[in-house]
Amino acid sequence: MAKSSKKLLGVEELWKFERVGGLSLAPDGAQAVCSVSNYSMDENKSSASLWLLSTFGGAARRLTSCGEKDGQPAWSPSGEQIAFVAKRQQEGKKDDASQLYLIAPDGGEARRVTEFAPGVGAFKWFPDGKRIAFVAWIWPELKGGKAQAKRLKEFKERKATGYVTSEAQYRFWDDNLPMGRVPHLHVLELASGRITDLFEGTAYEIPRADPNADFFDISPDGRHIVFAYDPQPEKRIENRKTLVELHLGSSKFAALTNDPDWDFDAPRHSPDGGHIAMTAAHTGKKHTSPTHAALLKRGGRWQLLSDAWDHSVDSALRWSADAGALYFTAQDRGRCHLYRYAIASRTASIAAAGGWVQGFDVAADVVVSSADSLMHPARVHAARDGQAPLRLETFNDALLGSLRLGSCEEVVVKGALGEPLQVWLTYPPGFDRKKKHALLHNIHGGPHAAAGDTFHYRWNAHAFAAQGYVVACVNYHGSSGFGEAFLDSITHRWGELELQDVEAGTDWLLKQPWADRQRVFASGGSYGGFMVAWMNGHVKPGRYKAYICHAGCFDWQAMFSDDAYTWHAKELGAWYWDDPAKVRSQSPSSFVAAMHTPTLVIHGALDYRVPDQQGLAYYNTLKAKGVDARLLWFPDENHWVLKPRNSRLWYGEFFDWLRRHDPAAAGAAARPKRAPRR
């Protein structure tokens, strides 16, 4: 395709990309299955299906097409079936909640294997292939599936809509946790369809925040299940977890880790069952402590493995076939790699390089991974020992080939404390260094996250750059992937070092001959939204022509309405009632008098991490002060914007706001048009 015929990347194209989800390898490593999501701008919704990929190469094959959102695929131990979770209509019955389905990898119709009223969540196969363990939210005081179904029916038919609780943890991101229910582990016997609640009549439960399959594991002999458990009577999002083992034959529970200052998670049995790998973080010492790989020998004590390595383990662990190494992802300077960590030598090597590795699996001698980068969406590769990685699909190649993208560059500038600072730059297509270009900061959230080498759909740097901006993403102090000291440096003084870093990035940009100092803008989401609000109260008006604040934090005392309120004192250094001055000193709301820069405020009503009153209070404050401001508020979106039509509106308002405050755009609009020549 000729360069001139290629299109710029816009919101319409962003929602045409196929998005790769969960990955699972067949036991022999010959095939992988993944979920792939598609979005329709016309229908304003998404669907997901399963695809088969040969790890020896060849065309990908679609496996399911009848369900709306087929996900969490996992091969049976024999490789003869693939289990997945879906809500479907089958044999005249439509699922009210997600159920478990089985399908043969050579095709055919998927078969529903559960009709469990509370629904099926995360799951894992037993090694014998005859049973499946899964998580479901149930009323702990009830016994048996019939009682659960009866209570659920009564709950759905009630006329009152109030949410009543005495729990400290009752929300997570955009969900109210199921009222009165807790997540229990269940076992499904495939032959009979019988379902048993393993925790019935006990106080045990799976952690309530996103109870996924990484919270538990089944021993190779099928006799034990180990799971992460919050032993505190009052559940809180930051509570430290211990590992507990259930002996299925005797129904006896035993604590495997008894170190209350450590948070244990993601247990994984070794192939021979002699060890359990896990993650461990010393959060009793410091809440920002990194997560390490650790190892527990059955009958012995646990030990750290990766504590001498200044990286934090991001993902669940997988064993190599010979039990000599563990696989996991970890961030490293704005990238996320898949590492192979050799247990004997305690050394890490890259098994799959990012970009940003989004998912992986290990089986036999094969490692399969999906990774994206700033230049492309997620791609799936397989690697065998001693062989180069092999690409397994071409889902987005045609669409990507029709687009004209700019280039990306990684630069290092001197930031706060005189320390080096990574900045990602994305240039407009056809970038001309001899011309002047507008600058746009895209400030990441967290704060303990990173601007990475990743293809971000909600804040896509190429979509911004296609409008003519040089886009800068600063990995300010506090960002993850740059070592423990760098991450912890902002604790108890939010805004201070981060502002110096963003400003250092701006200073560097303005020294470039192609930078237009009259056209500088800053945007950010979540903690990045906090940053642009902070900048509005601390940076001299005029340096930035306009700000865009998405889901930003404005007032830390009012932020106590969020789902993570018990973390605040750890990050800010005090509860707001014990040292109100310290908390106020880190709140943008305390510096309103200095705010004069025009701001677009965006927020969603279903955002429980940064409740929408934060954005509304910021917008109302700017309006009361007479500062130019505009509000985009979504009644049906959460911390992100997940619906295609709403995303179209989001990008439209985003770019309209920048153009409205761009002197070049205003000048162009003011210039009279020339009369046509005759």
Domain 405-668 has CATH 1.10.3720.10: no
Answer yes or no: is pLDDT of 451 > 60. Answer: yes
State pLDDT tens for residues 650-660: 999 999 999 99
CA distance 155 to 649: 36
- In this structure, the number of other CB atoms found within 10 A of the CB of residue 644 comes to 21
Per residue in 342-372, pLDDT (tens digit) is: 999 999 999 999 999 999 999 999 999 999 9
Judge whether residue 501 has pLDDT over 80.
Answer: yes
Q: Assign 91 a pLDDT band (cuts: 50, 70, 90).
A: confident
| Pick from 539, 528, 549, 514: nearest CA to 621 | 549
Residues 228-268: tens digit of each pLDDT:
999 999 999 999 999 999 999 999 999 999 899 999 999 99
**What is the per-residue pLDDT for 34?**
97
pLDDT value of position 4: 65
Q: Which long-range contacts (CB under 8 A, 24 or more apart) does 372-375 make?
A: 372/454, 372/455, 373/453, 373/454, 373/455, 374/408, 374/424, 374/426, 374/453, 374/454, 374/455, 374/461, 374/462, 375/405, 375/408, 375/455
Q: Which residues are registered as beta bridge partners of 474?
A: 423
Region 187-192: mean pLDDT is: 97
Q: What is the pLDDT of residue 2?
A: 52
Handedness of CA 76, 78, 81, 82 (dihedral sign): positive
What is the reported pLDDT for 530?
A: 98
**In a 3-state reduction of DSSP, which class is residue 339?**
strand
Q: Residues 175-212, buried b or exposed e (16+ Cβ, 10 A)?
A: eebbebbbbbbbbbebeeeebebbbeeeebbbbbbebb
Q: How far is CA 10 from CA 133, 361, 435, 469, 651, in A?
A: 43, 33, 23, 14, 9
For residue 677, what pLDDT is reported? Answer: 40
- Collapsing DSSP to helix, strand or coil, 370 comes out as strand
HSE at residue 211, side-chain half, CA atoms within 13 A, is: 25
**Average of per-residue pLDDT values in the chain:** 95
- Using the predicted structure, report yes or no on whether residue 673 has a pLDDT greater than 70: no
pTM for this predicted structure: 0.94
Percent of the chain residues past pLDDT 70, beyond the cut: 97
Percentage of the chain surpassing pLDDT 90?
Answer: 93
Quick one: DSSP state of residue 193? -
pLDDT, mean of residues 634-657: 97
Q: In which band, very low, low, confident or very high, does the pLDDT at 678 lie, cut at 50, 70 and 90?
A: very low
The domain ranges of the chain are: 315-395, 405-668
H-assigned helices in 402-512: 461-465, 484-488, 496-510
Per-residue confidence at 469, pLDDT binned at 50, 70, 90?
very high
User: Is-contact 490 496, C-beta < 8 A?
Assistant: yes
**Under DSSP, is residue 139 helix (H, G, I), strand (E, B) or coil?**
coil
Q: Provide mean pLDDT across the span 511-533.
A: 97
Nearest to 366 by CA among 37, 57, 126: 57
Task: Give the model confidence (pLDDT) of 406-418 as tens digits.
Answer: 999 999 999 999 9
In angstroms, the CA 502 to CA 637 distance is 29
Q: Reduced to 3 states, what is the DSSP secondary structure of residue 558?
A: helix
**pLDDT surpasses 50 at 675:** no
User: Is the Cβ–Cβ distance between 644 and 513 less than 8 Å?
Assistant: no
Q: Residue 3 has what pLDDT?
A: 53
Residue 671 has pLDDT above 60, yes or no: no
What pLDDT is attached to residue 676?
40
Q: How many CA atoms lie within 13 A of 397 on its CB side?
A: 7
Helix (H, G, I), strand (E, B) or coil at 618: helix
For the chain, helix (H) and strand (E) counts, in that order, are 12, 42
Query: Taking phi first (over 0 means left), then psi (-120 to 50 degrees means alpha), and beta for anything else, what does residue 676 get?
Result: beta
Contact 404, 429 (CB under 8 A): yes
Question: Which tens digits make up the pLDDT trace of 370-413?
Answer: 999 999 999 999 999 878 999 999 999 999 999 999 999 999 99
pLDDT value at residue 107: 79
CA distance 333 to 468: 27
40, 177, 378 from 419: Cα distances, Å: 45, 42, 32
pLDDT over 60 at 599, yes or no:
yes
**How far is 172 from 161, CA to CA, in rounded Å?**
19
Q: Is the C-alpha dihedral spanning 70, 72, 76, 80 positive or negative?
A: positive
Strands of 488-577, DSSP E = 515-525, 546-550
pLDDT in tens, 210-222: 999 999 999 999 9
pLDDT tens per residue across span 286-335: 999 999 999 999 888 999 999 999 999 998 999 999 999 999 999 999 99
